[in-house]
Structure formats: structure tokens, C-alpha cells
Amino acid sequence: MSKVSLITRLAVIGVGLIGGSLALALKRAKAVGEVVGCGRNAGDLEKGVKLGVIDRYTTDPVQAVRDADVVMLATPIGAMRSLLEKIRDHLAPEAAVTDAGSAKAGVIADARATLGARFAGFVPGHPIAGTEKSGVEAGFADLYVNHRVILCPQPETRMSALSKVQRMWELTGAQVEQMDAKRHDAILARTSHLPHLVAYALADVLAATRPQSEVLRFAAGGFRDLTRVASSPPVMWRDIALANRDALLVALDEYIAVLNAIRTAVAAQDAAALEAIFNRAKALRDSLPPGK
């Protein structure tokens, strides 16, 4: 007789890089009995079955969450509120519902407003992992190994749901920690959301430059590194930017202020001011722990 899995039936709504990698990692860890995938595109879901990421699929969230003991919402943040409304009355009573949104305060407010009594089963989460690639074929079982997963439990959160979601992430190889949602959003605004906007903006400057072929020919290593994340899915990052609006505006304003200081120094040929900014920036960069 086989050991009982942590999760009997996992519903993954949004079977892309994040949801698909979670399913693969849990299957490898023998932590899940069955994975039901759900999305809008049956062709992609079919691919997910063929790749062994999910066991079966439906395009109806109501069907997907039926009898699932864990439900993972891995859609763009903007889709979550209507999704929560749809599934609320169809969740199993003891189901743990969690998400992978990169900004937490908005998702938590949406869940609190829509889930009613089921909100006790909601465990807000954010796996800090990903690549600029997307789609079910981008998923891999090692994505979360040694990456951080932040959980932001609320006063109402049921301990059994929190424990189950925490254990689920640990079994993927991730390092799980708990954090206040507002603190999470302020930190991620600076370390992740702002950098994505910076990359999109830089790529957009080149998009507007003519002749473009010539500029592309000289886009060297630095430019490639700086714009890598501009390949990320636009809808996902549109939603993150809007969901973390307030913290992101603060970070954006700080960034634009530094850029304006650099612009002023270049215009005034102020060598000392430029060097001071560059020295400070280099010291910060050189202090980062060795990367993954």
C-alpha cells in the first residue's frame, strides 16, 4: 500500500510556468495524488497532459476545484477576483486555497471580499522564482529549489490550511517564510516590480529608435542582460503593476529622481556628482550575495 500523499487532489488554475512547475515538483516528490489543470485554452491544457504536468483538465474553474483539497491560483492577478467569485460556492469545506501573485495586499483584499467563510482556507503566497519564459512547456520541477516562497497568513487563516500550503512548498525544495503583506509589497516593489518596469522602458526606447536594425546589431551584453525580463508576459506584469500601485509609485518616484540627478550631472558636466552616484551603486551591487 502506498503512503498517503500530502495532497489528494490539487487543482491548478492557470497551468503556465508557475503552476506547471509546482505540479511537476509535487509529482516528483510524490506529494500529490491527482493534478487537475484549468485554463481558458484547451489546446494548452492538452499539451499539459501530454507533458505529464497535469493528469486531466477542464476549462471550467467550478469543475476544477470540485473535491480538490488544495487549489492553486496561478493566473495573472487581475483575473483572480472574478475567479474567486466563481469558485467560492464550489470549494470543498476544508480546501486550502492559495495563490502565486507577486503583489499580495490586493489579492488578499479581493479574497476577503469574495470568499466569505471560505476565506479561512485562503493562504496568500508568492514564490519568488520564475524566468522570462512562460507557458506550460516552460515549466520544470526544479524551478523552486532553494528559492524563497513568501506566505502572508491573515488573522482569519486556518492553521491547517497554512500548514498544508507551507508543507507543499517545502516539498518543492523552496525556503518558505512568512511575512506581513504590506512589507512584502514594499520590498518586492523595489527588488522585482521596479526592475521589470525599468527593463520594459529601456526596451521601449530602442523600439522607438530608427533605423532599428542598426541599433539591434549593436545591442551588446549589457543591453541584453538589462532587458531580459522585458520578455516576460505583458498581461501578467500589467496586473502586478496595478495591484502594487502604491508601493510601486513610491519606488518609481525614487528611481526617476535618481535618473534626473544623473541627467543634471551629465548636462552640467559634474564629474564628481556622477562618480558619487556610480560609486554608491557599485558598492550596493558588489554587496549582493553570489547569485543563483
Task: Tell which one of 12, 68, 92, 229 touches its own copies (CB under 8 A).
Answer: 229
Find the angle CA(140)-CA(121)-CA(237) to the nearest 5 degrees.
45
Asked whether position 109 contacts its own copies by CB under 8 A, the answer is: no
> Segment near its own copies (CB under 8 A), from 19-27, 50-58, 154-162, 234-242?
234-242
For 267, what's the count of Cα atoms within 13 Å in the CB-facing half-sphere? 6
Choose which of 60, 94, 180, 225 interacts with its own copies (CB under 8 A): 225
Closer CB to its own copies, 126 or 164, in the complex: 126
Amino acid at 92: A
Nearer to its own copies, 49 or 215 (CB): 215
Amino acid at 225: D
Q: How far is the CB of 36 from its own copies (least distance, A)?
A: 30
| Per-residue buried b or exposed e for 66-90, using 16+ beta carbons within 10 Å of the residue's own CB | bebbbbbbbbbbbbbbebbeebbeb
Which residues, 74 to 103, sit near its own copies by CB under 8 A?
78
Select from 9-17, 59-67, 165-173, 228-236 the region that touches its own copies (CB under 8 A).
Answer: 228-236
Which contiguous run of DSSP H or E holds residue 96? strand 96-99
34 near 92, Cβ under 8 Å?
no
Query: 11 forms bridges with which residues in the sheet?
Result: 36, 71
Where does this chain touch its own copies (CB under 8 A) — which range of 24-32, 63-71, 88-96, 237-245? Answer: 237-245
Instruction: Answer yes or no whether residue 253 interacts with its own copies by CB under 8 A.
Output: yes
Cβ atoms 142, 173 nearer than 8 A: yes
By CB under 8 A, which span of 88-96, 112-120, 153-161, 251-259 interacts with its own copies?
Answer: 251-259
Bridging pattern class, strands 56-58 and 125-127? unpaired
> Nearest to residue 26, comparing CAs of 205, 214, 206, 174?
174
> How far apart are CB 251 and its own copies at their closest, in Å?
7
Residues of span 136-165 touching its own copies by CB under 8 A: 148
36 part of the interface to its own copies, by CB under 8 A: no
Residues 170-189 that bind its own copies (CB under 8 A): 187-188
Residue 207 as a binder of its own copies (CB under 8 A): the answer is yes
Q: At closest approach, how far in Å is the CB of 208 from its own copies?
A: 7
The CA–CA distances, whole Å, from 185 to 36, 55, 59, 72, 191 equal 30, 34, 31, 20, 10
The residue range among 49-57, 82-90, 104-112, 201-209 that interacts with its own copies, by the rule CB under 8 A, is: 201-209
